[in-house]
């Protein structure tokens, strides 16, 4: 793929030059090593690549923290524990503080394998959780963060033989996401090749099922992002097994939500299909809604200087950066850059749009990547932190970026 190689070649040469960034704040990081770590980042003086040390570490989120959901308005952090070695998972609430410390408020057991959560309902008093290992979708009343209450459990079952028996042996809901109107919940299901759709009562949180969206067999839907452009709404689904990005036009006929596919491209943009060994992971919208960034794992597509020993090199998977056409919703490949190491499972972008925090699962590291909000271009690494265990998420202590 000549375009991809040329993009990478031109960018790798400048990747470790610190950008002219002006940002400061807190980032929460979850790790399978039983920890939720708070980092305090500051950049803007062209001081090179900073090595950050934790300002706070909590071990109150059980054994395998897999996802963090922040309710910034109420200073509540929800930690979802996947329970890899236990029959069930856990949901823990923390009160955040300006010094980065976390005070545990409540904790409750959940069905097995929770991997994603999103707040919803009036006054954000609900939390919807996707359970990859438990083939379930649950909703919780979190109006009192010290007393979490289960509202509803939906258990999924396969309706036919799986296309990929190794990975699709059961339903595997991989994310819970709220649509831009705040009225519908969507759950990409890697095991069933579906996007489950639900409306809900914003007060009682009671779910109502809507006909799900079928995705190409064997594609393995993972994560989804929305963008609103004028009167149009688009959604972008990344598939972990097919390594594709699927674009949907989103409409709301008769008070329901409808997703109509209008393109499907490989994860690196138009061209040949990606190798099946790749594994697309996250998809994130920029704050100005003009760019879409995707992370991919198991590629080892480049080498970069080792952060702790720059005389040596380490392999890196990529971040893939697209520009969104505002009229059509189509994606234009902008650049492919190293993510900072191996297995970028999750990443997030700050409200200013000038910094990415990338969680590198296999390296036990969080890397901060400079970004130019004016051009959308990703730049050099500006900071990093080594954190024990497999990193599962990194979240800025800011309000959610709304599409």
The whole-number mean pLDDT for each consecutive block of 10 residues of the chain, a chain of 403 residues, reads: 37 38 84 97 76 96 96 98 95 97 98 98 98 98 98 97 96 98 98 98 98 98 98 98 98 96 98 96 98 98 96 98 97 98 98 96 97 96 96 95 79
Distance CA 92, CA 65 (A): 10
Q: SS in 3 state form for 71-132?
A: EHHHCEEEEEECCCCCCCEEEEEEEECCCCCEEEEEEEEECCCEEEEEEECHHHCEEEEEEC
Q: In this structure, are residues 388 and 363 in contact, taking their beta carbons and an 8 Å threshold? A: no
Q: How far apart are CA 233 and CA 285, in angstroms?
A: 13
Other C-beta atoms closer than 10 Å to the C-beta of 211 total 9
3-state secondary structure of 254: helix
Could you give the CA distance from residue 398 to residue 350 in angstroms, rounded to a whole number? 7
87 neighbors 63 (Cβ within 8 angstroms): no
Q: Which of 211, 242, 359, 379 is nearest to 295 (CA)?
A: 359
**CA–CA gap between residue 209 and residue 362 (Å, rounded):** 37
CB 117 within 8 Å of CB 131:
no
CB 213 within 8 A of CB 184: no
Buried b (16+ CB within 10 A) or exposed e, 125-134: bbbbbbbbbb
CB 370 within 8 A of CB 348: no
Pairing of strands 344-349, 313-316: unpaired
Calpha distance 190→168 (Å, rounded): 7
Residue among 238, 110, 124, 227 nearest 174 (CA): 238
Report how far residue 292's alpha carbon sits from residue 46's, in angstroms, rounded to the nearest whole number: 27
Give the span between the Cα atoms of 372 and 260, in whole angstroms. Answer: 32
| Cα–Cα distance for residue pair 378/9, rounded to 1 Å | 14
Both structure tokens of 282: 């996250």
Name the H helices within 167-323.
none
Backbone φ, ψ for residue 133 (5° rounding)? -75, -25
Burial class (CB in 10 A: 0-12, 13-18, 19+), 53: exposed
What does the pLDDT read at residue 45? 58
Looking at residue 42, its pLDDT comes to 82
Q: Look up the CATH superfamily of 2-396.
A: YVTN repeat-like/Quinoprotein amine dehydrogenase (2.130.10.10)
329 and 262 Cβ atoms separated by less than 8 Å: yes
Using CB atoms within 10 Å of the CB of residue 224, give its burial: 0 to 12 exposed, 13 to 18 middle, 19+ buried: buried
Measuring CA to CA, which residue among 341, 359, 340 is closest to residue 349? Answer: 359
Q: What angle do CA 189, 195, 200 make, to 5 degrees?
A: 110
Q: How far apart are the C-alpha atoms of 49 and 300, rounded to whole Å?
A: 22
Task: Confirm if 324 and 291 have CB atoms less than 8 A apart.
Answer: yes
pLDDT score for 1: 36
User: pTM score, two decimals?
Assistant: 0.94
């Amino acid at each position: 793929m000549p375009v991809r190689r040329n993009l990478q070649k031109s960018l790798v040469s400048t990747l470790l030059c610190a950008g002219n960034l002006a940002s400061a704040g807190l980032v929460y990081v979850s790790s399978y090593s039983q920890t939720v770590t708070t980092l305090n980042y500051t950049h803007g003086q062209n001081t090179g690549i900073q090595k950050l040390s934790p300002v706070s570490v909590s071990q109150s989120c059980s054994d395998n923290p897999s996802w963090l959901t922040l309710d910034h308005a109420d200073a509540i952090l929800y930690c979802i524990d996947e329970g890899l070695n236990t029959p069930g998972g856990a949901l823990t609430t923390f009160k955040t503080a300006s010094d980065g410390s976390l005070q545990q408020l409540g904790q409750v057991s959940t069905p097995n394998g929770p991997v994603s959560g999103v707040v919803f309902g009036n006054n954000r008093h609900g939390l919807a959780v996707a359970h990859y290992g438990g083939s379930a979708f649950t909703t919780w009343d979190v109006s009192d963060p010290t007393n979490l209450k289960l509202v509803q459990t939906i258990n999924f079952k396969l309706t036919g033989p799986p296309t990929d028996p190794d990975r699709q042996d059961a339903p595997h809901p991989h994310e819970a996401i709220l649509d831009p109107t705040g009225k519908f919940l969507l759950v990409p299901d890697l095991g069933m090749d579906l996007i489950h759709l639900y409306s809900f009562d914003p007060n009682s949180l009671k779910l109502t099922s809507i006909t799900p969206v079928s995705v190409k067999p064997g594609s393995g839907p993972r994560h989804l992002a929305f963008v609103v452009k004028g009167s149009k709404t688009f959604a972008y689904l990344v598939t972990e097994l097919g390594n594709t990005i699927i674009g949907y036009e989103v409409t709301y006929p008769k008070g329901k939500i409808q997703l109509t596919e209008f393109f499907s491209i490989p994860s690196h943009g138009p061209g040949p299909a990606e190798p099946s060994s790749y594994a697309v992971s996250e998809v994130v919208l920029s704050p100005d809604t003009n760019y879409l960034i995707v992370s991919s794992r198991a590629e080892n597509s480049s080498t970069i200087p080792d952060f702790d020993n720059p005389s040596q090199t380490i392999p890196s998977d990529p971040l893939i950066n697209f520009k969104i056409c505002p009229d059509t919703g189509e994606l234009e490949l902008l650049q492919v850059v190293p993510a900072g190491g191996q297995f970028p499972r999750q990443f997030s972008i700050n409200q200013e749009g000038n910094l990415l925090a990338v969680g590198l699962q296999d390296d036990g590291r969080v890397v901060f990547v400079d970004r130019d909000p004016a051009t959308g271009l990703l730049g050099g690494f500006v900071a990093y932190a080594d954190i024990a265990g497999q990193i599962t998420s990194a979240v800025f202590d800011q309000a959610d970026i709304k599409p």
